[in-house]
């Protein structure tokens, strides 16, 4: 059976290091890391995420700020708040919770965030830095950054010569994940819904990352024996065995059958999920170090 990669445990290690780095920053006389979270509207899932992010920021000793705005907030009003946060020296990370209401252009909003405070890693400048291997100053999107740490726990930091297949080409996970694997000297293939003979391609992977948003799409016989499998998917499917109307969470990988073949695998839940908020904290403390003219910490 595969080694189960415990994302919760690795995330706790990251948060613990962030707390230490925050304390060290204050000893050096620098400003404590500041994270501002902006949420527009009443989306229940977004509210859960935002509450969790704000709670973890406070745990880390950050200056934590939250703007909760009504759904009818105009784009102009939102951009004004971001402009003020860009200018605020006590804030090192700005996060606008997506999705935004339909009348607001999310792309425009994200590109208004100062790149050095873009701890989500979505600004074109950070995307470009990651794409050109400028990792010292780039902010990498939190989910692929967390996935990379999980891979390194199993395989080490030098992944030279390993074949990696990323299934999914989103700007939030698939593309940045591929760039991180390239930077670690993997031979990388990005696969997607139009890829021919996806199972055969997946079987070439020493590292297989599934980020397509389709429940249990990747089957056990798609996986090379001994491969490291990172399941980024979070899908809710009916679970009648639990009772009428009940559901359960599954990933993009058929876990039970894949775990018999893989060398290591992330579970859902408890794998990649906890890493996302942990890496948001890591990016924010890194931004505070850079703002203070100090060497960026690594994780």
Angle between helices 174-183 and 124-131 in degrees, nearest 10? 40
Q: Report the length, in residues, of the chain.
A: 299
Which stretches of 176-279 are assigned E, i.e. beta strand? Answer: 187-191, 207-210, 228-231, 235-238, 247-250, 264-265
In our burial notation (b when 16+ CB lie closer than 10 A, e otherwise), range 105-121 reads eeeebbebbbbbbbbbb
Respond yes or no: is residue 8 known to be catalytic: no
Angle between helices 273-291 and 7-27 in degrees, nearest 10? 20
Give the residue from 299, 177, 154 showing the smallest Cα distance to 232: 177
Query: For residue 75, how far is the Cα from the chain centroid?
Result: 26
Contact criterion met (CB below 8 Å) for 59 and 33:
no
Candidates 17, 97, 118, 252; catalytic one: 97
Give the residue from 265, 130, 104, 254 showing the smallest Cα distance to 184: 130
Q: How far is CA 150 from CA 160, 180, 244, 245, 271, in A?
A: 17, 13, 36, 34, 9
Contact criterion met (CB below 8 Å) for 272 and 262:
no
Candidates 120, 206, 231, 252; catalytic one: 120
Respond yes or no: is residue 77 known to be catalytic: no
The pair of three-digit structure tokens given for residue 6, joined into one six-digit string: 């415990």
Residue 295 buriedness (CB in 10 A; 0-12 / 13-18 / 19+): exposed
Candidates 53, 117, 175, 224; catalytic one: 53
Respond yes or no: is residue 97 known to be catalytic: yes
Question: Which of the residues are catalytic?
Answer: 53, 97, 120
């Amino acid at each position: 059976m595969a080694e189960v990669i415990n994302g919760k445990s690795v995330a706790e290690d990251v948060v613990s290091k962030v707390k230490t780095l925050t304390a060290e920053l204050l000893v050096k006389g620098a400003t404590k890391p500041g994270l501002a979270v902006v949420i527009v509207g009443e989306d229940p899932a977004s509210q859960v995420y935002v509450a969790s992010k704000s709670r973890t920021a406070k745990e880390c000793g950050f200056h934590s700020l939250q703007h909760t705005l009504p759904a009818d907030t105009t784009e102009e009003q939102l951009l004004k708040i971001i402009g003020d946060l860009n200018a605020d020296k006590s804030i090192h990370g700005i996060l606008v919770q997506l999705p935004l209401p339909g009348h607001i252009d999310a792309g425009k909003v994200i590109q208004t965030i100062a790149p050095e405070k873009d701890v989500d890693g979505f600004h074109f400048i950070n995307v470009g830095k990651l794409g050109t291997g400028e990792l010292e100053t780039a902010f990498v999107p939190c989910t692929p950054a967390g996935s990379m740490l999980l891979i390194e726990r199993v395989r080490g930091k030098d992944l030279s010569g390993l074949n990696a297949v990323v299934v999914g080409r989103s700007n939030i996970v698939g593309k940045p994940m591929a760039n991180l694997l390239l930077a670690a000297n993997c031979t990388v293939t990005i696969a997607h819904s139009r890829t021919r003979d996806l199972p055969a391609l997946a079987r070439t992977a020493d590292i297989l990352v599934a980020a397509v948003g389709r429940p249990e799409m990747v089957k056990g016989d798609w996986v090379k024996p001994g491969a490291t499998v990172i399941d980024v998917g979070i899908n809710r499917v009916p679970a009648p065995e639990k009772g009428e109307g009940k559901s359960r969470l599954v990933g993009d990988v058929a876990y039970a059958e894949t775990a018999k073949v893989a060398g290591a695998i992330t579970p859902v839940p408890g794998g990649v999920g906890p890493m996302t908020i942990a890496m948001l904290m890591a990016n924010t403390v890194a931004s505070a170090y850079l703002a203070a003219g100090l060497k960026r910490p690594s994780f």
